[in-house]
Structure 1
């Protein structure tokens, strides 16, 4: 076939301050043996040498074009690039990733052979800063949308899609950061056909500045939980295993708060209101209004706090006006695990016999009556209480505990469009 008889393939590269990698990325596209390529780089106004490199290629390569202007992140750049693209087949290659020689021709041949397919993807490697292979990306042949429940089965740079399918599912959700491609593939899979090629097509680079490494925990896991709930109604234990195994040093409190936000343990007790101040200080009477589902009763209350002023902090706990127990806090940094039992929405009150007014101590003009700082207040169901104790005392066995105590099956939530 002549060049103008072949499908035009548009490669989109979002770029920002990846000058040390982007030349290798560009070369991996322009040296492909498939020549009917349109290459568009959307640069977010880089401040390193990226723009100089882009100008160099724009002068010498008619298939290459770029824009360098402020954008709203990677998703915005890819969406903008796809709208600009003239090709019916799109490849999304980040500015630190690379294609294997011959990758695009293999993809085009497959799309030509199976015109009903909307996404074709292959295998990929993780590589380091010097392009040395670290390991294979854990891809999986696609059969049904639920295949995405346990993990992202597609290596993003090794995936190509039809522009029409991308546009019809409204492109990338620009509010996402870590799960841009994961969410996109699931939305496409709910409506279109995907196919796996058992061949290596691309390299995904891992380095300290890559978001897959730099933001995996603080932004990655919350987005994964959100996307999983949105598409499957729950989250797979496999996702939880990964983070709990690789980031167990962060401790149970962070995970418990996150799991509450995304209902990982289903219908667990939740705080509706509390009179704790925004800076985490409490007054002499801390009141906590808790919503409790009778299917998942309250079993305990965790408080992680700081006793800054007093040698002995005396706390008296009441559940629905009934006295439960008294605690004495001697440490500056303390954790209280308070056994409580209730199967209906309740009010917990913690009265403190010690208080001070900051302005009286000459600290500032704060006239509040304060007792201590309560950084975390977490009501626990039976499963959450077990999770907390297992994580606290035997963190290396927490994944096995999840396997034994949390069984989740995905329910595919179909799109509204």
Structure 2
């Protein structure tokens, strides 16, 4: 598709059986103060009413288009939507997440101030529940400029809906990797793309929680063993190009396994706790030693909880995301 104006933002929403959330997601996009948008929803083989809901919204907002494909996974769906788009900037958005009305406007402002060296501008986010209430705000790092080493350690952006990406940067990075799904490691496509953009461009940040990230038990990111497999596959692809970052990759892997271990304990998924314990024993023996000796579950919860909370804080629980910030 021919490129549109320099201020046009292509919003790309992959949607698989998103009938419960897609309407609210589209409403948050439609409320953006930056109105020069094209909004592409890629129905990735849904069997529910997703397509009908999108078409109903498209009837009242001509910026919305529906694309349909057999189920191929989130990376393939995003790539298909981006290939059909024409904006100078790309704004991926998951079909159950929300945006603050000024998100795109504030990110474009950072792009204008940063110039051509900026390839991606991200915002902070708030975790929200199925009722769009804020359940957690966390201190986020403020990584800007050359962020490659920071990304080798962990995905500090934290989700697939907070980034605004220059199209040229996306194209040079090669897009989202659809092979992760076939290799049994879907989940870290965002992190891999961000890293490959950071190899070529600087990053900017809007240090406000302008994305509502819905982290529900049925979400892909809740499959802790798959997320760890995905991280390992991406690291195997990326790390040979950067031997100088070997320690950051290794430390980041240990960090993720600890966080996922905490998540599995809190949710009572004992089979995943066992699998993660084996992984931790191999890659992070110091941490494993802390847990050795058959700690009671209550003690393990307390220990891991303290480690988890050391990176953030609980705050403003119960507030609707739409009321978190004023435009």
Fold in common (TM above 0.5) = yes
Contact 2:110 2:204 in 1 (8 A): no
CA distance in 1: counterparts of 2:272 and 2:65, whole angstroms: 48
Gap runs ≥5 in structure 2: 181-185, 240-244, 308-327
1:135: how far off? 0.9
CA distance in 2: counterparts of 1:43 and 1:111, whole angstroms: 30
Higher strand share: 1
Cα separation, partners in 2 of 1:133 and 1:252, compared to 1, 3 Å: closer
**SS of equivalent to 1:114:** helix
CA distance in 2: counterparts of 1:258 and 1:165, whole angstroms: 35
Is the radius of gyration larger for structure 1 or structure 2?
Answer: 1
**SS of equivalent to 2:106:** helix
CA distance in 2: counterparts of 1:110 and 1:238, whole angstroms: 30
Aligned to 1:199: 208
* Per-residue Cα deviation, 1:35-69 (whole angstroms, up to 9, x for no partner): 11111010113221111111112222221101122
Aligned to 2:229: 222
Aligned to 1:209: 218
Gap runs ≥5 in structure 1: 266-382, 404-417
Cα separation, partners in 2 of 1:113 and 1:41, compared to 1, 3 Å: same
Cα separation, partners in 2 of 1:228 and 1:49, compared to 1, 3 Å: same
Give the number of equivalent residue pairs: 276
Cα separation, partners in 2 of 1:15 and 1:113, compared to 1, 3 Å: same
CA distance in 1: counterparts of 2:170 and 2:261, whole angstroms: 33
CA distance in 1: counterparts of 2:122 and 2:192, whole angstroms: 16
RMSD value, Cα? 2.9
Higher helix share: 2
Q: Once structures 1 and 2 are overlaid, which stretch shifts more, 248-257 or 174-183?
A: 248-257
What are the residue-to-residue correspondences of 1:14-413 with 2, within 5 Å?
14-116=14-116, 117-137=118-138, 139-143=140-144, 144-155=147-158, 156-176=160-180, 177-213=186-222, 215=223, 217-229=224-236, 230-231=238-239, 232-233=245-246, 234-236=249-251, 237-247=254-264, 249-250=270-271, 254-255=275-276, 258=279, 264=283, 387=288, 391-394=292-295
Relative to the length of structure 1, the TM-score reads 0.60
Greater relative contact order, per chain length (Cα 8 Å cut-off, separation 6+):
2
